[in-house]
């Protein structure tokens, strides 16, 4: 899964990199730990020239109550063993939560890095992954709009699509990887007329050799920690990465703006 990522807000870069219009107001601050339930900027097929605020964790339009589907498995219920060499059908096209979105509600999730941990230790032993060749990149995402029948609130939310592990995530013992799009494929992903078979062709593991892997502090486990210090590499052989008090806070509560030219 990909449940935490970094999004540094640099509007000038976003305007230049993605061809979006300069927003009138910046409502989201930079976060080195975007967690489920947080707001983040995405670019959708519906409004490809705008940055849109959406909540991380998709709630399908038909849901009776709020959901937080942070990741959409490309294989759906197929490939339960996360076989690295899986080449069968991709169940995302039939999954009720995603079958409409994968066809007509796709988005780019802007990111600078993401976090994963080994299958057993999870975020008790976190690593940060960033691209060696780009300081900003995009996950392949899907989005939806949900209306709360009780309050009338409208919620726009998104999921990050995942696939089998690449060389980098496999090396730390994690069985999955987020779908990172090549720059040349970003506009294709937002093309609502793109045939489904071409959409599916984009759901492949990103080359692991293009990712930089760094062990980071267990502070990332607490979703309230959002600062730059989270990305400072640590000694991977350290037995105590952070005060145990943080883990207590996580159990209690499971659930910065402006231009920053030096991102990492």
The pLDDT tens digits of the residues spanning 146-164 come to 999 989 999 999 999 999 9
Structural domain includes residue 257: no
Q: Which of 123-132, 225-234, 246-255 has the lowest mean pLDDT?
A: 246-255
Structural domain includes residue 262: no
The residue among 136, 122, 160 whose CA lies nearest residue 38 is 160
Q: How many domains does the structure of the chain reveal? A: 1
Q: What's the pLDDT score for residue 254?
A: 29
The CATH number for 205's domain is 3.90.1680.10
Structural domain includes residue 260: no
Range of the domain at 15: 4-252
Contact 66, 155 (CB under 8 A): yes
pLDDT digits (tens, 9 = 90+) for 218-242: 999 999 999 988 877 776 555 434 3
Structural domain includes residue 185: yes
Distance from C-alpha of 163 to C-alpha of 60, rounded to nearest angstrom = 21
Instruction: Give me 54's structure tokens.
Output: 């959406």
Structural domain includes residue 261: no
Region 180-192: mean pLDDT is 97
Instruction: Give me 42's structure tokens.
Output: 């995405």
Structural domain includes residue 64: yes
Please give, one letter per residue, the 3-state secondary structure of the chain: CCCEEEECCCHHHHHHHHCCCCCCCCCCCCEEEECCCCEEEEEECCCCCCCEEEEECECCCCCCCCCCECEEECCCCCCCCCCCCCCCCCHHHCCCCCCCHHHHCEEEEEECEEEECCCCCHHHCCEEEEECCCCCEEEEEEEEEEECCCCCCEEEEEEEEEEECCHHHHHCCCCEEECECCHHHHHHHCCCCCCHHHHHHCCCCCCHHHEEEEECCHHHHCCCCCCHHHHCCCCCCCCCCCCCHHHHHHHHCCCCCCCCCCCC
Which has more pLDDT, 245 or 171? 171
The reported pTM is 0.88
Region 4-23: mean pLDDT is 96
Structural domain includes residue 189: yes
Structural domain includes residue 197: yes
């Amino acid at each position: 899964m990909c449940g935490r990522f970094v999004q540094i807000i640099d509007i000038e870069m976003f305007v230049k990199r993605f061809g979006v219009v300069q927003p009138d107001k910046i409502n989201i601050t930079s976060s080195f730990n975007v967690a489920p339930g947080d707001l983040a900027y995405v670019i959708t097929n519906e409004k490809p020239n705008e940055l849109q605020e959406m909540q991380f964790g998709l709630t399908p339009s038909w849901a009776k109550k709020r959901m937080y589907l942070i990741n959409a498995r490309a294989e759906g219920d197929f490939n339960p063993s996360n076989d690295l060499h899986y080449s069968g059908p991709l169940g995302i096209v039939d999954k009720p939560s995603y079958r409409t979105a994968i066809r007509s509600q796709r988005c780019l999730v802007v990111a600078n890095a993401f976090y994963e941990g080994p299958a057993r230790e999870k975020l008790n032993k976190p690593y940060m992954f960033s691209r060696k060749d780009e300081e900003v990149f995009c996950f392949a995402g899907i989005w939806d709009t949900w209306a709360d029948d009780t309050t009338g609130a409208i919620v726009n939310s998104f999921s990050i699509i995942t696939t089998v592990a690449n060389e980098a995530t496999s090396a730390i013992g994690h069985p999955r990887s987020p779908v990172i799009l090549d720059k040349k494929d970003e506009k294709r992903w937002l093309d609502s007329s793109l045939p489904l078979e071409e959409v599916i062709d984009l759901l492949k593991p990103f080359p692991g050799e293009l990712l930089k892997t760094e062990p980071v502090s267990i502070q990332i486990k607490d979703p309230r920690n959002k600062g730059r210090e989270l990305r400072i590499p640590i000694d991977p052989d350290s037995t105590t990465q952070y005060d145990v008090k943080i883990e207590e806070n996580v159990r209690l509560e499971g659930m910065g703006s402006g231009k920053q030219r030096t991102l990492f």
